[in-house]
Chain A
């Protein structure tokens, strides 16, 4: 009996541009927005500064990523409330233009593939499809009241981010530094 066909799920991620030049521009826009002197940063600029993670089931034609829904809020207020630990409804968008902009900006967009047999791939894809637009999860910064952020959202979808090698796992820098992690509001 032949093995089932493999399908790849590609994870995209980049570290944000927090160089002095880009950071000063980003901060200036936040301050301008706060004082009313000018527009705040765009959502693209926020993600270019922060870094981002997304996932594709079609080789990168669409890159789905998890974001906070801050509709009606200024960017400076949204960020401030996230820094306080507040949760926001999650929305899932095709952010391929953000990853393209990161590449154009000279940031290293890294990828890896999770290879699944077709039944596991179909199960993942169904879960991803159900997440599009309005997510079932809330967005929050780490140790805040939200369920996850753009990276840990992939775990909520059941996507393994580790190979399973024990040396890889125990070498994670946050393993010792952050012995307790909170995902969701509880006391």
Chain B
């Protein structure tokens, strides 16, 4: 995962990654960015303190969203 020194929480990091996704020029870039997004989601799920779903603008399109995201928020 690329370091994001100025983002001090994972939810903010998701928003930052979503911004990068929307500026990505190729599908390879989008896949790489989605992988980073998935790692942050996994970290949030493992932390067991994820109590606020990111807004839609901080999410990726369905095709790129990690399955863990939907599973986690569906069982809340």
Contacts and interface: CB of A to CB of B under 8 A. Distances in A.
Interface in B14-67: 16, 18-23, 25, 51-57, 59-62
Nearest to A24: B76
16 contacts: A18-B54, A19-B51, A20-B51, A23-B76, A27-B70, A27-B74, A76-B62, A79-B56, A83-B59, A83-B60, A84-B61, A85-B22, A141-B56, A143-B22, A144-B22, A177-B4
A123 B61 CA distance: 39
Contacts of A142: 19, 22, 57
Contacts of B7: 177
Contacts of B59: 83
Nearest to B57: A141
Interface size on A, as a range, is 35 or more
A5 interface: no
Interface of B: 4, 6-7, 12, 16, 18-23, 25, 51-57, 59-62, 70, 73-76
Interface in A130-150: 141-144, 149
B22 A80 contact: no
Contacts of A50: 55-57
A142 B52 CA distance: 20
A143 B23 contact: yes
A26 B53 CA distance: 10
Interface in A19-34: 19-21, 23-24, 26-28, 31, 34
Contacts of B12: 173, 177
Contact of B22 (A28, A51, A141, A149): A141
A93 to B, nearest CB: 19
B41 to A, nearest CB: 14
A40 interface: no
